[in-house]
Chains A and B, each alone.
Chain A
């Protein structure tokens, strides 16, 4: 796997070919939630519905645990995994708070204060200090 010049951006999962290959079936499960009848099936029997997609057990567990960061690490793309958040009645702030591991209140406050600043958040080396 060749090195990419975006590998040194912290806390960011660039959805490239590697991620696509890992996450294809996970993302296609998420996409299926666009249809009301699939949402009903997933609500009635989450484990059973997930078994109808050839995902890894780790991916199924991440979905059931609503492990939002875990899903990204396993190849999930935010536009797809957010379909699960919609299913749960969550907002983008709820999901953002969960992924950056702060309370929703703190996350919303950060946005109201102008968002997460780019200063100090450009390079992984800045997070390791």
Chain B
């Protein structure tokens, strides 16, 4: 309960408890996990000393899923059961994925469903479940290294991920049994790693452009760092542009040259992609690269590609990223000379042509002194450590934005923007609606994300049914719908009828997401597999939480209970504390939880007063600063 733990300056709060935390970079091609140990943030290797975990999962009927290098090795022989690049699919419909990424070497069941399922020997699986396997593997690695369960994790997502993609990522973490402290934008995470790296040199302050080209996503963020506070001024990008596209365009070229571009089977496609990836990597250091393919009819095909030809193929893709950079600069109202540093993130920035063109756009050589593959995970680990409360005195704060405008459909298939892109989160807006017909008791609202005027050009996020509107004559009901975007960039909607005060029920139908019920079902499945006694676990968790609440509340009451509470309020809180303490030996998790929630309810005003007091004292500090 940190709000109740806020201490006066110079005074330490309740005895410090170290919480184990990790940062996870869940990438399209590779994933990593990092933690802070003895003050140093490092990525963690597997038993063979490898830090990268290929984001590939192989499913089979009998055994548990295999994640990482062994799965990657099997991709060629078992392409249909080996899922790579699940991040490209997450939070998307199948039609959309096909439109964005071309051919996919998997078999999909029920392709029109909101969440496409991939048919594998291990069952029909959603991209959320595939990602959960990767997260489990990484979390296990962190727990083995740290020697205990993780209190929470920070998972990075592309800055340009929309609500559905963020929600799906969080769902994957829930399935993996992880507590998500925060979803953090990848470029922001990289910026954190760089700011600490450069803090001593005093060069960290100022405006930074983070150019992040990963396997499947591209992000550009413009940030300003001032005394430990990172403000994202603008974020932009393309959530379907990455180094994989370099491979794809190169593979396509090879298949065309080999004369099999139309008739290639799954195996040939995979082979071409791997040959292309190898050639791309060679061309980063060598002037030419050889490509070889075994064609479906058994013929061998080979060709030599020089760097100029390769660059000609990928230039249009780089152009797309640079156009996004210019837009982000415009949105941030920052001109090129005002940018103090350009940072390269993501494995695909190893391609020399990318570096060359980024340098040309910004008129300065970009920084790449932290391994571009690891920098995001390292930043995430630092943020996780901070959020866990393990860095008292560190005033680092990240103020992020939503990358895409949020709007609602008005009749006629047009979009009315409610929250513009690059609004700092958390953010909320309310809009009032009315009824069209006499006695109307329900209303549908369609929420979209995107910058275009037509519904068809934006991403559908969800449809909301408002029910329980009191029946009135047309136009008399005033329904206020509030849209809230939290610090994870996730949307929540609430609605109430203003004239009667009736709270309308909101039913959410995510356009490309799993419902709460589906997640609960998957979760109970996975726990059954894990063979864990769910009830015992829940009781244990509730007890720990209850004790934590009681302890910090006792400390807070001693400190300022007299000043902030009147007798009646204090009695109510103490009664609720006694009631909670009485449940601690119970084996009924719900009973403990209910008592804890009742106590939190009783503390409501106290918590708000403490918040106001914190604001007061912080502003008092400001006034003193202003005179210096």
A in complex with B: no
Chain A residues engaging chain B, CB cutoff 8 angstroms:
none
